[in-house]
Chain A
Amino acid sequence: MNTPPRPRQAELLPLGPDAVIVRFALAAGAQVSGAVQAFSEAARQAAIQGVREVTASLNSVLVRFERRMTSREAIMAALDELLGAEDWLNAPLPEPRRRWRVPALFGGRHGPQLAEAAGLAGVSEARAVREIAGAELRVLAIGFAPGQPYLGLLPENWDFPRQSHLTPEVPAGAVTVAVRQIVLFANASKTGWRQVGLSAFRPFWPERAEPFLLRQGDALRFEPVSENEMDALLANASDGLGGARCEVLG
C-alpha cells in the first residue's frame, strides 16, 4: 500500500545562536493555531535532549536549546521527525488545563471602538458583546509586552484586519480586536487594534507573588460587567487580578 508523502507542513528555520523556529504559516491571520499549539505541546513532551524552552507565537513554535548540550543539527533533526509524525495542520487545539473568567466592561468610553468593530463583524453592539463573551478563547501567544495575551479565536465574522492607522494610546487592560483575536493590553500602548472594552486584569505584575498569570493554552472567557462594577474593580486593583478567577480543569 502506498501512502503519498505528506506535504511539507512547516518550515524549520534558524533564529539566532541558540534557537530554531517551526513556522506553520507566514501570513497574518493564517489561523494555524491548532497546529501551533498541538505541535508546541508535543515538542515540550518529547523532552528533546538540550532543549531549554518551547513556546508558541501565532504561526510558529520557537525551540531554544543549550549549545553546550546539543547542536542545531540534532535539534532540527528531532523536530523534523516530530513534524512528520502527525498531520499537525488538522490537529485540534489541545484541551485546556485551566480556565480564566475575566470581568470586562464593553462599549462606552472604555470601549470607544465597539460600534465600529461590531459594524465590521456585521452585528449589533449588543450582539457583538454576546459573541465575545460567548467565545471560549484560548491563550494563543504571549508577547509584545510582558504577559500580554493574544486570545482566539472569535467567530469567523470577526476576521477583519487591524486598522491602518494607529490609535495613539490604549490603556493597560484594554480589550482590543482584529483578525478573530483579542489582545488584552498589559501596558498602555500605541496600537492598530480596535478597543472594544476594558478589564482591570494585569497579566504581568512584578510585585505579585505570581508575576505572570497566564500560560499558553489557557482557556479564557470575558464576563461583561457594568460601569459601576468596573469602577469598583479598578479602585481595588491591589493585586492586578481585576476580579478574574482561575479554574483548574480535570
Chain B
Amino acid sequence: MSGVLRIERAGPVMTLQDLGRPGLIGQGVSVGGAADRLALLEAAALLGLARPGASIEMAGSGGTFVATAPMRLALTGAPMRADIDGQALAWNAVHLLSPGQRLTIGGAREGTYGYLTPAGGFDVAPFLGSVSAHLAAGIGGLLRAGVDLPLGEDPHPGAPATRLDVPGRFSGGTVRLMPGPQTDLFDAAVRARFFATPFRRGPQANRQGMELLHDGPGYTTAAASNLASDFIVPGDVQMTGAGAPFVLLCECQTIGGYPRIGTVLAEDLPRLAQAPAGAPIRFRPVSLEEADAVWRDEQEQLAALRARVRPLVRDPHAIRDLLAYQLISGVTCGDDLERT
C-alpha cells in the first residue's frame, strides 16, 4: 500500500512539478516543469530512480506533511529548515517519513525553490504527458492545505538513506549567455556594457520570469519598435520598455515582441532561477560553439550525479535519543536510524 501524503499546511506557492511538457510550443504552451530542473535530477539520483519523477516545488517556504504509509523522500533544491517531529533533517538527502510522524519544512535558508520528492512519485493523472502545474497557462494550480496526494509505489523501499554534496547555486553569481536570433540587433557597445554590468535580482520574479535591476541606462536597440513577435525559450534575456532586462523562465510565453540579447545556458538556469531577491547576477558571453560543447543530456547528468551519491551518516549530536540505540551489539543492515 502506498498511501497518501497529506498537506497539513502549505507555503504560498507550492506546486506539483516534473520535467514539464516539451512539444507544445506550436500550441502556445512553454515547457514549464520544475524551475530548477537539476534539483529533480538530484532527487532521482538520491532515491535511485531510473528517471526523474514528480516533486512538490516549494517557493520560498515549505509546509507541514504527514503520510499514511512509510515514505522515503528526498529534499533537494534551495536548502530549507526541515525536521521530522522536531529532529532536524539534512538537506540534499533521503529520509523516511513514517505514519504518525510530521514533516515540517520551513523557510529557505538560501535560494528560492526547494523540492520534496517521494521515492514512488505521485499517483496522479498526467495532463498532456505531465503532472506539472503550469500556472501561466492555467494548467493545474497551487497545492493547498488539506490536499491528499496519492503516493506511487517506491521501487526500492528498503534502500539505505543517501546524501549528495551539492555545490551552491543559491545566491546568484555569473551565468553564461549564448547568442540568440536577436543578439545582433544590439550594438556591440550595448552588448559590451551589458556584460560589464553587475545586476541584482529584482523583487518581481515567478515561474514565468525574473526582473533584473542595475544602475545606469537601459539596453535598447533601434530595431525594437517594429519587431515581429517571435519565438521565446526559457533563459532568454529580453529588454522591456526602456531597456530593462527581464529573464524568461520555465513558464515563459512562447512568442513575444521584445528584443532579446541572448539565452542563458540551460546548465546555468538553475543558478538563475534560484537567485533570491537582491542576489548579484552577471552575464558572461559564450559562443554558440562553446554553448553547444558544454551541453549535457539530462540522463547523462543524472548518471553523473548517481556516481556522487553517498550513504547518509547521521551526526550523533543531532540524535536526541542516542542512548536508546544499541550502538555496538548485534548486526544491523545499516539503516536502523531510518527505521526509528
Contact = CB atoms under 8 A, between A and B. Distances in A.
Size class of the A contact interface (CB-based, 8 Å)? 35 or more
B235 A16 contact: yes
A195 interface: no
A72 interface: yes
Interface stretch (A60-68, A113-121, A237-245): A60-68
Residue from the set B234, B255, B256 with the largest chain A CB neighbour count within 10 Å: B255
A171 to B, nearest CB: 15
A41 to B, nearest CB: 13
B228 A25 contact: yes
B230 A72 contact: no
Residue from the set B25, B28, B138, B295 with the largest chain A CB neighbour count within 10 Å: B28
A215 B128 CA distance: 16
B320 to A, nearest CB: 47
B180 A14 contact: yes
Interface stretch (A86-94, A97-105, A122-130, A137-145): A137-145
Contact of B25 (A13, A53, A68, A144): A53
Residue from the set B180, B265, B297 with the largest chain A CB neighbour count within 10 Å: B180
A26 B259 CA distance: 11
B235 A143 contact: no
Interface residues of B, number: 42
A148 interface: yes
B27 A142 contact: yes
B127 interface: yes
A147 interface: yes
A176 interface: no
A216 B228 contact: no
Given A17-B265, A52-B23, A143-B255, A28 B229 contact: yes
Contacts of B179: 14
B311 interface: no
Interface in A1-29: 11, 13-17, 19, 21, 23, 25-29
Interface stretch (A77-85, A152-160, A204-212, A224-232): A204-212
A146 B29 contact: yes
Given A16-B235, A53-B23, A57-B230, A146 B263 contact: no
A57 B180 contact: no
A30 B228 contact: yes
B22 interface: yes
Contacts of A56: 26
A186 to B, nearest CB: 8
B17 to A, nearest CB: 17
Nearest to B139: A206
A91 B256 CA distance: 26
Nearest to A73: B292
Nearest to A205: B138
Nearest to A149: B28
11 contacts: A14-B179, A14-B288, A17-B266, A28-B257, A52-B22, A55-B25, A64-B23, A72-B292, A146-B138, A146-B139, A186-B28
Interface of A: 11, 13-17, 19, 21, 23, 25-30, 52-60, 62, 64, 67-68, 71-72, 141-148, 186-187, 204, 206, 211-212, 216
Interface of B: 22-29, 127-128, 137-139, 178-181, 185, 223, 226-231, 233-236, 253-257, 263, 265-266, 288, 291-292, 295, 297
